[in-house]
Amino acid sequence: MIQINPSNILKDKIGATHGISQQALDNLCTKYQPLTQEVFRAKNKVGYDFLNLPDDSELLRKIKKFVTNQNRYKWENIVVLGIGGSALGTIAVRSALISNYKRPRVFVVDNIDPQSISDLLSSINLSKTLFLVISKSGGTTEPMALYGLMRSELVKKKIRNFKKHFVFITDPKKGLLRKIAKKDGIQTFDIPSKIGGRFSVLSSACLVPLVLAGVDVNGLLKGARVMREVIKSTKGTVNPALLLAVSQFVMDRKKGKTMTVLMPYSNALFRVGDWYRQLLAESIGKNEKTGPTPINALGTTDQHSQLQLYTDGPNNKLIIFLRVLKFNEDPETGDQLPKELSFLNNRKMSTLLDAAYFGTAGSLTHSKRPNLTIEVPKVDAKNIGALFMLFEFQIALLGLLYKVDAFDQPGVEHSKQITKQLLSEL
Ligand code: PA5
C-alpha cells in the first residue's frame, strides 16, 4: 500500500525555522481529523461526488459493452479532444500504463497548436480513427474547435457515416455538445453533473478512452476504493490524505513554503504530476492569500536542471517525492565500464535511481529544505487509482483548511468568456 514518510519536514531534521515538531504534527492531525468525516459526509454534494465514482459498476458495464461493439470497426487510433480535467487524467494513465507500440494508438489533443494538429492529421488514417470529444461543460472553445475541424476533415474526405467516428463525453443535460449529440444522433457518455472537470478522472471522461486502450480500469477503480477505505478508517498522521493536507497547509501558512514541487522518481508517474498541478492550482488558488504554486519535476532528470534552485535558492518550497519501490522491468548496466566507473557496473537501474533519490532527499534535508516522500509499491493501475483518490481527497481537505471552495474555478471561466467574446468580435 502507498505510504507517506514525512520525517524530512520535522524540526529535528531541518531545524525549527523550517520544520515542525512531531508533537505539533500529531496535534494538528488530531485537531483536523474531523475534516475527514466532513468530506465523507458531503459525498453527495456538488464537487465531493468524486468519492462515489469508483462504485459505478453500471457505468463500467456500459463502457465495456460499447467497446466490444466498437471492435468491429478495428480502430487504429483513438483521439481524445479535450483539455484540462478532460485530458490530463487520460494523459497521466496513458504515460504510466500504455506502451507507445500498443494498438489502437491513443492520442490526446489538448491544445489548439496548429503544427501539432496538422502533424497528427498527416500521421493517422481518418477512416480508422475514433474521436472522443470530452468536455464537462460541453462548450469549451478548444475541444469544440477541434471537433469542428475533425468533422470537416471527415466530410472533406467523404468518409461515409462520419458520425460513427465520434463519441461525446459530457454533462448529462447541459451544454452544446449534448445538444449536437441529440440533433446528430451521436453516441454519448455522461460525466455526472455534480463532478467538476479536474475531479473527473475516475468518471467516463477517462474510463472510456482507457477501456478502449485496454487499461485495467477494474484495477484503477479498486485502487481508488482501497485508498478511500484507508482514508476513512485511519486517524491522525496514519491517515495519508490528512497527513499530506496538514503538512502542506502548515508548511505554506506557518513556514512560508508557498510552492509545492511534485517530483516522481519514475518517468511513468511524471504526468501524474501534470494532473496534480491542475488539481492543486485550480482548486486552492482562490484569493490573493491562498494557493501554493504547484511545480512538476522529474527525478533524476531535473536534479540536473532544478535541484540547484531547490537546494540553494529561496527556501519557499515543499518538495513531495514519489518513490517507486519496485519496477516491473529493471535492466542492469553490465560490466563494460572502466575501473574508474566500476561503481556503476552490474547495477540495476532501480538501484541507481534510488541512490539518486536518497542523495537528493538527503541533500535537501541537509540544506533545511522540507521534503516528504510518497512511497508507491509499483506502477500499476491499482496504485495509480489509489494516488488519484489520495490526491483528490487531500485537495478536498485543503479546501476546508484554507476555507475556499475547492470545486469552482471562476478565474478559468472568466478567461473562457473573454476568449469567446473576442472570437465573436473578430
Ligand atoms: O476543472 C475544471 O473544471 C476545468 O479546468 C476544466 O477541466 C477545463 O476548463 C475543461 O473544461 P471542460 O471539460 O468543461 O471542457
Give residue 410's pLDDT. Answer: 86
In the sheet with 293-296, reading across from the earlier edge strand, the strands are 3-5, 371-378, 317-326, 259-265, 293-296
H-assigned helices in 157-239: 176-184, 204-212, 217-233
* Ligand 1 neighbourhood includes 225 CB (under 6 angstroms): no
Residues 86 and 209 in one domain: yes
Is residue 250 included in any domain, yes or no? yes
- Number of the ligand 1 atom closest to the C-alpha atom of 142: 15
Summarize pLDDT for 253-271 with one digit per residue, the tens: 999 999 999 999 999 999 9
Give 212: exposed, middle or buried? Use CB within 10 Å, 0-12, 13-18, 19+. Answer: buried
Q: Are 199 and 136 in contact (CB under 8 A)?
A: no
Bridge partners, residue 10, by sequence: 20
Residues 73 and 185 in one domain: yes
How far is it, in rounded angstroms, from Cα 335 to Cα 9?
39
Give residue 105's pLDDT. Answer: 95
Computed over every residue of the chain, the mean pLDDT equals: 96
Last residue in a domain, options 157, 183, 216: 216
Is residue 421 included in any domain, yes or no? no
Give residue 418's pLDDT. Answer: 84
Give residue 280's pLDDT. Answer: 98
Give residue 77's pLDDT. Answer: 97
Give residue 425's pLDDT. Answer: 80
Give residue 416's pLDDT. Answer: 78
How far is it, in rounded angstroms, from Cα 117 to Cα 127?
17
Question: How would you classify the pairing of strands 293-296 and 371-378?
Answer: unpaired
CATH number of the domain where residue 196 is located? 3.40.50.10490
Taking CA atoms only, the protein residue closest to ligand 1 atom 9 is 84
pLDDT interval class at 276 (50, 70, 90): very high
Last residue in a domain, options 174, 201, 216: 216
pTM of the predicted structure, to 2 decimals:
0.96
Residues 160 and 255 in one domain: no
Summarize pLDDT for 154-185 with one digit per residue, the tens: 999 999 888 999 999 999 999 999 999 999 99
- Number of the ligand 1 atom closest to the C-alpha atom of 416: 9
* Ligand 1 neighbourhood includes 399 CB (under 6 angstroms): no
Is residue 177 included in any domain, yes or no? yes
How far is it, in rounded angstroms, from Cα 278 to Cα 110?
14
Give residue 221's pLDDT. Answer: 98
Last residue in a domain, options 181, 216, 251: 216
Is residue 123 included in any domain, yes or no? yes
Residues 234 and 152 in one domain: no
Q: Which residues of 344-383 are buried (b: 16+ CB within 10 A; e: fewer)?
A: eeeeeebeebeeebeebbeebbeebbbbbbbebeebbbbb
Give residue 26's pLDDT. Answer: 98
Residues 82 and 200 in one domain: yes
Residues 229 and 201 in one domain: no
Residues 246 and 380 in one domain: yes
Residues 23 and 127 in one domain: no
Distance 80 CA to ligand 1 centre (A): 14
What's the gap between Cα 145 and its chain centre?
24
Taking CA atoms only, the protein residue closest to ligand 1 atom 2 is 197
* Ligand 1 neighbourhood includes 136 CB (under 6 angstroms): yes
- Number of the ligand 1 atom closest to the C-alpha atom of 191: 13
Give residue 412's pLDDT. Answer: 80
Is residue 349 included in any domain, yes or no? yes
Residues 14 and 67 in one domain: no
Give residue 243's pLDDT. Answer: 98
Total domains, the chain: 2
How far is it, in rounded angstroms, from Cα 90 to Cα 274?
11
Q: Are 104 and 78 in contact (CB under 8 A)?
A: yes
Sign of CA dihedral 354, 355, 358, 359: negative
Summarize pLDDT for 205-243 with one digit per residue, the tens: 999 999 999 999 999 999 999 999 999 999 999 999 999
Q: What is the largest CA-CA distance in the chain?
A: 72
Higher pLDDT among residues 92 and 289, named by residue:
92
In the sheet with 105-109, reading across from the earlier edge strand, the strands are 105-109, 77-81, 129-135, 166-170, 187-190
Q: Please give the share of the chain, as a percent, with pLDDT higher than 90.
A: 93
Q: Are 226 and 237 in contact (CB under 8 A)?
A: no
Q: Are 98 and 213 in contact (CB under 8 A)?
A: yes
Summarize pLDDT for 347-392 with one digit per residue, the tens: 999 999 999 999 999 999 999 999 999 999 999 999 999 999 999 9
- Angle (CA) 275-278-284 rounded to 5° is 135
Distance 355 CA to ligand 1 centre (A): 39
Give the structural domain span for 177: 48-216
Residue 426: pLDDT above 80?
no
Rounded to an integer, the average pLDDT of 400-416 is 89
Is residue 379 included in any domain, yes or no? yes
Active-site residue numbers? 282, 304, 416
Residues 364 and 390 in one domain: yes
Q: Which region among 94-103, 300-309, 312-321 has the lowest average model confidence (pLDDT)?
A: 94-103
Is residue 420 included in any domain, yes or no? no
Summarize pLDDT for 109-150 with one digit per residue, the tens: 999 999 999 999 999 999 999 999 999 999 999 999 999 999
Residues 8 and 143 in one domain: no
Residues 178 and 285 in one domain: no
* Ligand 1 neighbourhood includes 84 CB (under 6 angstroms): yes
Cβ within 8 Å of residue 314, ≥6 positions away = none
* Ligand 1 neighbourhood includes 203 CB (under 6 angstroms): no
DSSP readout, 221-284?
HHHHHHHHHHHHH--GGGSHHHHHHHHHHHHHHHH---EEEEEEESGGGHHHHHHHHHHHHHHH
- Number of the ligand 1 atom closest to the C-alpha atom of 278: 5
Is residue 423 included in any domain, yes or no? no
DSSP readout, 119-141?
HHHHHS-GGGEEEEEEESSS--H
Query: How many other β-carbons are positioned within 10 Å of the β-carbon of residue 77?
Result: 18
Give residue 148's pLDDT. Answer: 97
